[in-house]
């Protein structure tokens, strides 16, 4: 009996929503979305309300949203309203990066995809653009802990355009930028020459490159696609000015949250959600409002980029 190819075998694990399936079949622009913001980013029902708003933002720009998650032993590319509700209210959901995806699939656990896992799934599904909040990167103190996000390796290997507000500002952004350069990942600031810092529009770092329109980004992606051994591209899109928390103010909250994590001996993949939760308390909820604003802003830009690819 002939065994299916790896590609064919993997496709049997993917469940496409009707909307996404129709969009891919007719070559309509599609934007991938991660699911950790739903399960690990905010409480119910605000998580599902935000997820639906982000999907609506993408549709308003003429593209189709494909929220990605692992449910019932399948990799879902695009979630129905019922699926969104199930995921948003599920307990003990795995936070899945590259190392965790197959474990969740094999055991039937619910899994929310991080940047790395969402890139993997998007590439398998033929989706070229992905909108998120901020990527993971090199954690502060990584010279001792070796705590570096798998997102950076995924950007180096997987040809998906990731639209974010830069790396999460609780990270060591200069070291994150250095690692991305070493791995050959183009970092493009959108509409600015300075790299944004997630909640803040400014990081104090000059961006390696800058482009000012979705069509220019689309041209870059089409050119890069001609080289089959190239990986992803990171678009750093500043949070709207009206929604930002200024860098000087934000740095105090971040330092306090990181020190709290150190005191409580938080390690590994638990660091980011713990620190984000501490920052939420310190800012009296402002950080979450900013987070939602920047995700929506990234989704709108991602939809325009996807449409520009032709």
Q: Which residues are catalytic?
A: 34, 168
C-alpha span between 201 and 285 (Å, rounded) = 19
Any alpha helices (H) in the chain, and if so which ranges? Answer: 6-11, 18-25, 36-39, 46-60, 81-89, 101-107, 115-125, 142-145, 150-157, 173-182, 214-225, 247-263, 271-282, 286-308
Residue 138 φ then ψ, to 5°: -85, 120
* Residue (of 20, 113, 49, 50) closest to 296 by Cα position: 50
Residue 200 near residue 245, CB atoms below 8 Å: yes
Residue 40 near residue 51, CB atoms below 8 Å: no
Task: Name the 3-class secondary structure at 12.
Answer: coil
**Alpha-carbon 3 to chain mean position:** 34
Helix (H) and strand (E) counts in the chain:
14, 11
Longest Cα separation, the chain? 64
């Amino acid at each position: 009996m002939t065994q299916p190819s790896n590609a064919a075998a993997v496709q049997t694990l993917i469940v496409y929503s009707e909307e996404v399936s129709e969009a891919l079949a007719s070559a309509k622009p599609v934007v991938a979305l991660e699911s950790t913001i739903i399960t690990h980013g905010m409480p119910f029902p605000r998580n599902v309300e935000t997820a639906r708003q982000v999907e609506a933002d993408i549709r308003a720009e003429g593209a189709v949203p494909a929220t990605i998650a692992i449910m019932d032993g399948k990799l879902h590319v695009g979630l129905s309203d019922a699926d969104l509700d199930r995921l948003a209210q599920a307990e003990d959901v795995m936070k899945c990066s590259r190392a965790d995806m197959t474990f969740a699939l094999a055991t039937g656990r619910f899994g929310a995809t991080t940047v790395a896992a969402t890139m993997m799934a998007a590439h398998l599904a033929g989706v070229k653009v992905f909108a998120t909040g901020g990527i993971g990167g090199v954690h502060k103190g990584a010279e001792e802990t070796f705590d570096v996000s798998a997102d950076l390796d995924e950007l180096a290997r997987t040809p998906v355009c990731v639209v974010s507000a830069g790396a999460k500002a609780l990270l060591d952004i200069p070291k994150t930028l250095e690692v991305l350069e070493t791995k050959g990942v183009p970092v493009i600031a959108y509409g600015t020459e300075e790299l944004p810092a997630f909640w803040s529009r400014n990081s104090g770092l000059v961006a390696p490159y800058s482009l000012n329109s979705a069509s220019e980004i689309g041209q870059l992606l089409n050119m890069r696609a001609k080289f089959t051994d190239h990986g992803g591209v990171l678009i750093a899109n500043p949070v709207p000015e009206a929604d930002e928390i200024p860098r000087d103010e934000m740095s105090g909250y971040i330092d306090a949250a990181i020190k709290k994590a150190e005191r409580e001996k938080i390690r590994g993949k638990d660091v980011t959600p713990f620190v984000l939760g501490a920052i939420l308390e310190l800012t009296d909820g402002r950080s979450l409002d900013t987070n939602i604003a920047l995700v929506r802003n990234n989704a709108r830009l991602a939809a325009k980029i996807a449409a520009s690819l032709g």
